[in-house]
Amino acid sequence: MKPTHLRLRRACVAAAAAGALIGPAAAGSAAYGAATAPAVSAPSPSPSPTTDAGFTQLTPAVAARLDAAVRQVMRETQVPGVTVGLWAPGKGSYVKTFGVADKATRAPMASDLHVRIGSETKTFTVTALLQLVDQKEIGLDDPIGKYIEGVPNGDRITLRQLAGMRSGLFSYSLDGDFVKKLQADPEQSFTPRQLLDYAFKHPVQFPPGAQFDYSNTNLILLGLVVEKVTGRPLHEVITERVLAPAGLRHTVFPTSAAMPDPYAHGYTDQTASGKIEDSTHWNPSWAWAAGAMISDLQDLRSWARTLATGRLLTPATQAERLKTTPMNLPGDGYGLGIFNVQGWIGHNGSIPGYEVLPVYLPQARATMVILLNTDDRYEGQEPSTLFGQAVTAIVTPDHVYPGHKPRAPGTG
């Protein structure tokens, strides 16, 4: 049986992380069906200089190139279904679905389907935290021990270091006992405290702030901070303080395994047997503040811009969020629950059965959202990364996502 680490895929760069993470991919058997007709809007006739920043005009000819590129990646990766959306003022738009949303019924992928968004959840949790910073309820440089007892190095690790993935805390989703327990019954429920127990069995990996290391444990702690300070469940805080003001009507923080209709089925090889299974109704409680949420294409389009431009935060707090430190390869950096990779700002997400990539390119005011209904890796790479790279090579050749190959699987 292949090794596996249940993943909420780490910030775009491929490494292994808790929640973002990795096992060598098995080539799936998922075939794909006919693509739906493209939705390519007519570009406005006079693009402004601001929107002419290296983003290709989305003409029918470019749409045909995008179609071919997406189909090629699908052939290589055997991803069942993909939705790709591109929008840029003055350049037009491209929204198209490929393949199937349900391998059993062969129902086609559609642009209005809900999917699980994995680590994109981190952007919502950290936004809720930063709103508390704006309200002077907490400080980014407060130690986590001020709010949560029993954290190793809790008197030294700050909220800023947790949000920036520089705490040194072991990621619970890499714990072998946790993985076995979850794979034995993926419909069971976990509490945040149970997840921390798996993490805290392990020694800290480095002094706080010393380096970047993506860990889902960080987000579980930040979710608990939000709950402690507000006195309310995290899902309620995010729903009322983030989703509602952002106008996201099709995004939910679930408290069960239920998926809102309509939805795409998800498929994963992160199973006890190593065989591909339908993971649509697996319980996401194990991912909680790090990766449990659900959304759709249009909400993620809106959220990518809101997140990158800081509409829900004060300019000063957004500036703190966007201060990045290097991850592990040139051209990328991680801020506070957000990354900047070759100029694209946002976060990717992966959870067994699904991957999403919603990102925003400020100089072109362009948004890219890619959704797929598998997380099975192809030759050690995330499929969402491969689609992102293929698409951006055509529309933003000066900002190709991610601009490098990921590390070998199993290294994080």
Please write the tens of the pLDDT for every residue from 306-344.
999 999 999 999 999 999 999 876 779 999 999 999 999
Provide the pLDDT confidence category of residue 118 given band limits of 50, 70 and 90: very high
Name the band, by pLDDT with cuts 50, 70 and 90, for residue 38.
Answer: very low
> What are the angstrom distances between the C-alpha of 335 and each of 138, 349, 379, 411?
18, 16, 28, 22
Give the count of beta carbons closer than 10 Å to the beta carbon of residue 52: 15
Which span out of 13-27, 323-337, 374-388, 397-411 was modeled with the highest average pLDDT?
374-388
Which residues fall within 8 angstroms of residue 268, CB to CB, at 6 or more apart? Answer: 276, 277, 279, 352, 353, 374, 375, 376
Q: Evaluate if residue 390 carries a pLDDT over 80.
A: yes
- The pLDDT assigned to 331 comes to 78
Instruction: Answer yes or no: are the C-beta atoms of 174 and 22 closer than 8 Å.
Output: no
Predicted confidence (pLDDT) per residue in 262-273, tens digit: 999 999 999 999
Alpha carbons 121 and 293: distance in angstroms, whole number:
6
List of residues 6+ apart from 316 with CB closer than 8 A: none
Of 403 and 360, the one with more pLDDT: 360
227-248: average pLDDT: 98
pLDDT at 174: 97
Instruction: In whole angstroms, give the CA distance from residue 115 to residue 266.
Output: 8
Only one residue has tokens 């997840």, namely 195
pTM of the model: 0.89
Q: Is-contact 10 332, C-beta < 8 A?
A: no
Instruction: Provide mean pLDDT across the span 54-61.
Output: 96
Confidence of residue 53 (pLDDT cuts 50, 70, 90): low
Helix (H) or strand (E) holding 64: helix 60-77
Question: Other CB atoms closer than 10 Å to residue 28's CB: what's the count?
Answer: 21
